[in-house]
Structure 1
Amino acid sequence: MTSKKSKLYFSKAFSKISIVALLSLNIVLLSGCYSFKGNSIDATLKTIQIQNFAFQTAGGPANLSLTFNEKIKEYFQRNTSLKMTNANPDLMFEGAITGFEVEAQAPTANDKGGLNRLTIRIQVKFTNAKDENKNYDQEFSFYQDFPQTQTITAVQGTLIPKILDQIVLDIFNKTAGEW
């Protein structure tokens, strides 16, 4: 009997050790695929400049450009180790808000829109002074739908932050994917 208990004890202990080893191995492997807080940035990249994005479209709140500029700067400061600079940056963003559009979506039986869609478009020019192959000039856009019974003025305070957050994330992912 003692022999069976010993085998059972060692079997359970080995199983626990195996599980811990597998979990540890997974953590090590996954940490190689994802880097936290700027660790994936090329070590030669130290500085970033984000020029103010101009408001080049009709419609939209007057502070839209300011709101976007603050969001993108804050996001890069919070999620990278890059330092903001105004002189000879390693990375530079510039561009303009080129679209603020409200369009009817999902027509109803009365030929009226059941939903309206707010779309914001931002043209971004990214320059990497260390590697020009990573430069891009691209439009980013995102939208949010809202009920036709509401006005854009009534919902823009809720929709605009969501749209801008997604555009900033898309810009960051496009840029960080190139590091």
Structure 2
Amino acid sequence: MRRVLVFFVAMTGLMLLSQSCSISLNGASIPAGLKTINVEFFENNAPLVVSNLSQDFTEALKARIRSQSSLGIVRDPAANASMSGAIVNYTITPVSVEATNPNTPPIANASRLSITVNVKYTNEIEKKYNFEQQFTKYQDFQGDIASQEQTLIQNIVRQLVDDIFNKAFANW
């Protein structure tokens, strides 16, 4: 009889513990009931548009969710969670300038590529994790943008995706 009682108490404790826990994989903290997410296409609404940026960003975000969580990505508004938004800024600005001589205008010695994304995350299972926030990342470079632009974009997109994933699933 005593063994049955110990077994019953242990099983009850395990059941209560498992109902309050979340699934963790690679630093992600996914609530147990969260199974699917709808990741919408992030349109490029920035004044300066790069043709492949929307597609690259959206696919990078989906790839990170697939590889670092157990969530299924679905195209269904009834998913357990959704992520939507837009690329709202893409700018190239001088960071430092160099004056060559008094009769000519200064030239940029280094420039900065910045990308800003608005993100809305809705979690139907744990509403306390919902957010709507802007994420901005940049990378400095020297020389002509044309030869470096795609590499810079890839690096910035990776940083943005890391921040967004961590905000949504690692509770950072």
Normalised to the residue count of structure 2, the TM-score between the two structures is 0.77
Larger relative contact order (Cα-Cα within 8 Å, sequence gap ≥ 6): 2
Q: Could you report, residue by residue, the CA deviation over 1:136-161 in whole angstroms, capped at 9, with x for unpaired residues?
A: 110011001111xx222221111000
1:68 to 2:57 alignment: yes
1:49, CA displacement in angstroms? 0.8
- Which aligned runs of 4 or more in structure 1 are off by greater than 2 angstroms? 35-40, 107-113
What is the CA-CA distance between 1:86 and the residue it aligns to?
A: 2.0
Quote the offset at 1:38 in angstroms.
Answer: 7.0
The whole-number CA distance in structure 2 between the counterparts of 1:120 and 1:67 is: 13
Deviates most, 111-120 or 92-101: 111-120
* Secondary structure in structure 1 of the residue aligned to 2:92: strand
Alignment of 1:80-119 (within 5 A): 80-87=69-76, 88-110=78-100, 111-119=106-114
CA contact (8 A) 1:38 1:81 kept: no
Sequence identity (%)? 34
Matching residue of 1:130: 125
| 1:113 CA displacement | 2.3
CA distance in 1, matches of 2:132, 2:154: 23
Aligned match of 2:45: 56
Residue 162 of structure 2: aligned partner: 169
Q: Is the 8 A contact 2:45 2:86 kept in 1?
A: yes
Q: Report the TM-score, using the length of structure 1 for normalisation.
A: 0.74
In structure 1, runs of 5+ residues without a counterpart are 1-34
**Quick one: which of 148, 152, 160 aligns to 1:159?**
152
Match of 1:16 in 2: none
- Distance in 1, matches of 2:166 and 2:87, equals 19
- Offset at 1:122? 0.4
* Paired amino acid for 2:45: Q
**Match of 1:51, as an amino acid?**
E
Any conservation in 2 of the 1:115–1:146 contact (CA below 8 Å)?
yes
Pair 44,139 (structure 1): closer, same or farther in 2 beyond 3 Å: same
One-letter identity of the residue aligned with 1:160: I
Q: Deviations over 1:110-133 (max 9, x none)?
A: 443210000000000000111222
Residues 78-130 of structure 1 deviation map (CA, whole Å, 9 limit, x = unaligned): 10000111221111100000010000012224443210000000000000111
3-state DSSP class of the match of 1:130?
A: coil
Task: Give the secondary structure class of the aligned counterpart of 1:153.
Answer: coil
When the two structures are aligned, how many residues end up with a matched partner?
143
Assess if the C-alpha contact under 8 Å between 2:31 and 2:125 holds in 1: no
Structure 2 unmatched ranges of 5 or more? 1-23, 101-105
